[in-house]
Amino acid sequence: MLSRLLAHDAVLREARPGDEPGILACIQALADYEREPDAVENTVEALHTTLFGETPQAFAHVVEHDGAVAGIALWFVTYSTWTGRHGIWLEDLIVLPEHRAAGYGKALIASLAAVCVERGYSRFEWTVLDWNEPAIGFYRSIGAVPMGEWTTQRLTGDALEALAAALA
C-alpha cells in the first residue's frame, strides 16, 4: 500500500473512498487551466464507481495536505501489442496552484513509474497540450520524450454515435 510522507506534512497515497470530491475539484481545476471550464461532466458518484466499484477501471494516487486533496494522478492500465506487456496511461496530473513547487507533481508521477517497474509494465505514457510550456519543461526534466509523428485521435458525440450505428 502506497504511503509516503512529503514536504509540508503532505502524504502521497492511493486514493480511497471519500476522496472523490477532492479528486473532482482537481479535475475541474485542470479543465479550467486547460481552457475548457465547461467540459467536465464527471460526478462524485461516477468517480466512486470508476475508482472503487466492483471492477475499477481507473485508479488514482493523491497528495493529501491538511486533510484535503492537493493533487492527483489519475491513470489506467494499457496494453502494448508490440511489447506484449501492460503499461500505464496517465489521464490527469495536477497539483493545485497553492501547493505547487513542493515536489508533489514529481512524487505523483514517480509513484506511477514505480508501479510500472514493480509490475513489469513496459510503458508509461500521457499527452500534454502543446502550449503548456511549464508541464512540457517538467516532463523533459524527468526524462520524458515526445512521441514525434503520433497524434491523438478522438471520436465523441454525434460522430461516435454515427460510427456505432454504422455497425447495425
Candidates 33, 79, 121, 139; catalytic one: 139
Q: If 0-12 CB within 10 Å is exposed, 13-18 middle and 19+ buried, where does residue 137 land?
A: exposed
User: Does residue 139 carry a catalytic annotation?
Assistant: yes
Contact call for residues 76 and 89 (beta carbons, < 8 A): yes
In this structure, are strands 68-80 and 59-65 parallel, antiparallel, or unpaired? antiparallel
**Rounded CA separation 85/81 (Å):** 7
Query: Which active-site residues does the annotation give?
Result: 139
